[in-house]
Structure 1
Amino acid sequence: MEVNANLAQDVFKDAGESVIFLMLSLKREDKEKECEIIADMADRIGAIQRSMNIRVAPETVKLTLGFSNQAWEYLFPKAKKPLELEDFQGVNGDQHTAPVTKADLFLHVRAGEAATTYLVVDQIMGFLRPIVDVVDETHGFHYREGRAIVDFIDGTENPVGEEAKEWAIIGEEDPDFINGSYAFAQKYVHDLDAWRALPTEVQEKYIGRRKYSDIELEDDEKDPRAHNVISQDNRDGEEHKIVRMNVVFANPGEGVRGTYFIGYARHWDVTRQMLTNMFTKNDRLLEYSTAQKGQLFFIPSKEILDKIAEGEMF
């Protein structure tokens, strides 16, 4: 079987203008009812997306629905499991920590307008709400010029086109789950007052790129712990990539400014290595960022969603 991107959920496309992320936990009060609603949701989610895309054309809705390891083992105990699906264990460095958040389901919806993302999520949650509690709900938005909230262009080195599909979609190495993906989601809150107090040239050394032109610095110009040095996975002399769709979120009245990191990957091992590097080698950006609410989710292919809908996975 070959990879078919048409059978994958939206794991390799643009981040969108308006975004809603949800981490949900199953109530675990009535498993039969929960499995029934999850099967119904797996059947309906594609129709909700198609219907909304007709209603808001030419705007497009993109979405993913995922399951954590705990959810998979609870809902589908008799089914095989994706090769790299596991409970995220967190990363504890000597200065910084990537924490673990217990969550079962993950929803990532993006569109051109906030009204559209609201309508999609509200419809989906109309079905899920009786069986879940909300662990985290984050509303994000496209920041000016595609910049991160720390004022640098975000995602310059992201793979695009066919390369994005290669790095984001599971292939023949796991044939039972081909066209799926691994999503790692984590919130970061930034101390922007301290960050913006740094001279621009210091910020550039810490990021590894020019602030306004986005040109990458020469290696000898970068801080040894620059973000674009530390956050790479270059094992065996090869750069391994993921597809990032990071989004800015903020409660400006409260002074909360952050980045919702979302990385889709063919191999969870790549994302895990990037995180390990950042938190154990003391990425400079972490001096101004606090990680919150992190978990790994498997994003099933449309074929697996169909099997869930038909009750074949339970």
Structure 2
Amino acid sequence: MSGKNWDRVPIDAQSVDAPLSLSAVFLVVTVASEQSALAKVGSVLGGLDDLVKTVGFRDLSGRLSCIAGIGCDLWDRLCPDRRPLELKPFAPIKGAVHSAPSTAGDLLFHIRSERPDMCFEFERILLDSLGGTVTVVDEVSGFRYFDARDLLGFVDGTANPTGLDLPASALVGDEDADFAGGSYVVVQKYLHDLNAWARTPTPLQEEIIGRTKIDNIEIDDDDAPRKSHKSLATIEDADGNEYDILRDNMPFGQPGRQEFGTYFIGYSRYLWVIEKMLQRMYIGDPPGAYDRLLDFSTPHTGTTFFAPTRPMLQTLVQGAQEKPASTAP
């Protein structure tokens, strides 16, 4: 999608536009039901920028950053009177062959740096600060794999928007003015069957992905009977306007446990764009012609968040700290 109706990058947005890093941690937690837990979480969120500065100052070239995303249920606890227009829990998808589960998550912390030790240190201090108020439900450490490839051997994120197209695609605009500058975030943890993938001939792999493997050239499959992953993940409206999302996927794995995966994280101005993309992948277009990549990659999580601007985050924090403690016995 072009930069139409978007002529600036909000200076108060979280670091959605940070460049692809060498290392990342994707941390998803749930928050305890007590009001005291809500206040504690609010305090930690309020000090998030200061914590980034404290850890990141040790090596500024490490480019440490952290984005906080808030799930629908927690958002309603923090701010019951108003919510981003499209924010809702991740809707599970059941296709004829493959399904996408919906899993728990109140908070997402997307931690990025050029140094894995800085991601580690930031996460350690963050969790120490949150203490028993949260429960970790998913924790993935990602890494850049050669020239930004996934573990399947293909370059990932080639179609990401750049320049003014980036905020136009990833950040909410005037259509929801109260939350302009924020971003919808969807995460899924995929595990790959690399043995089955390795047995698949390279030409078929390229047909499934929609790009050549060595030089990352896009393959035109408009007239093909079965669309590629690339084509199914391309979203257009009724007028033919294309809508992009910003992906910051990272490979992860533990060879000793035969665990090989890709952590999908998509930032979008409109949640419906990612939802439609996933519907096309799992249901198929036409129905039944699902994304053949799913024959080798299985999602184990699926959660939706909203990453508000820094001022909005501070407003939510203040609300959490001002709420009276529960008097229930």
* TM surpasses 0.5: yes
Map of 1:35 onto structure 2:
38
Shift of residue 53 of structure 1?
2.6
Map of 1:82 onto structure 2:
84
Deviates more, 1:103-112 or 1:227-236: 227-236
**What are the Cα deviations for residues 206-256 of structure 1, in whole angstroms up to 9, with x where unaligned?**
111110010111326866231101122122212111000000010110111
Distance 1:310 1:227 in 2: 43
Shift of residue 18 of structure 1?
1.0
Q: Where does 1:1-314 land on structure 2 (aligned, <5 Å)?
A: 4-28=9-33, 30-31=34-35, 33-77=36-80, 79-219=81-221, 224-236=226-238, 237-281=240-284, 282-311=290-319
Q: How many residues align?
A: 311
8 Å Cα contact 1:67-1:297 kept in structure 2? yes
Deviates more, 1:143-152 or 1:56-65: 56-65
Cα–Cα, structure 1 residues 3 and 295, in superposed 2: closer, same or farther, change >3 Å? farther
Cα–Cα, structure 1 residues 222 and 248, in superposed 2: closer, same or farther, change >3 Å? farther
**What are the Cα deviations for residues 232-289 of structure 1, in whole angstroms up to 9, with x where unaligned?**
2122212111000000010110111000000001111101110111000110101111
Q: Secondary structure at the match of 1:182?
A: strand
8 Å Cα contact 1:143-1:149 kept in structure 2? yes
Give TM-score, length-normalised by structure 1.
Answer: 0.94
8 Å Cα contact 1:231-1:283 kept in structure 2? no
Runs of 4 or more above 3 Å deviation: 1-4, 220-223
User: Any unmatched runs of 5+ in structure 2?
Assistant: 1-5, 285-289, 324-329
Distance 2:195 2:45 in 1: 43
Shift of residue 311 of structure 1?
2.6
Distance 1:103 1:157 in 2: 28
Deviates more, 1:113-122 or 1:303-312: 303-312
Structure showing the higher helix proportion among its residues: 1
Distance 2:180 2:154 in 1: 35
Distance 2:265 2:236 in 1: 20
Deviates more, 1:163-172 or 1:242-251: 163-172
Give TM-score, length-normalised by structure 2.
Answer: 0.90
Q: Secondary structure at the match of 2:27?
A: strand
8 Å Cα contact 1:180-1:301 kept in structure 2? yes
User: Any unmatched runs of 5+ in structure 1?
Assistant: none
Distance 1:189 1:130 in 2: 29
Deviates more, 1:5-14 or 1:173-182: 5-14
8 Å Cα contact 1:205-1:223 kept in structure 2? no
Shift of residue 124 of structure 1?
1.3
Cα–Cα, structure 1 residues 289 and 55, in superposed 2: closer, same or farther, change >3 Å? same
**What are the Cα deviations for residues 103-134 of structure 1, in whole angstroms up to 9, with x where unaligned?**
11111101011110011111211221220111
Cα–Cα, structure 1 residues 307 and 284, in superposed 2: closer, same or farther, change >3 Å? same
Shift of residue 10 of structure 1?
1.6
Letter in 2 for 1:48: L
8 Å Cα contact 1:189-1:256 kept in structure 2? yes
Distance 2:7 2:206 in 1: 42
Deviates more, 1:234-243 or 1:146-155: 234-243
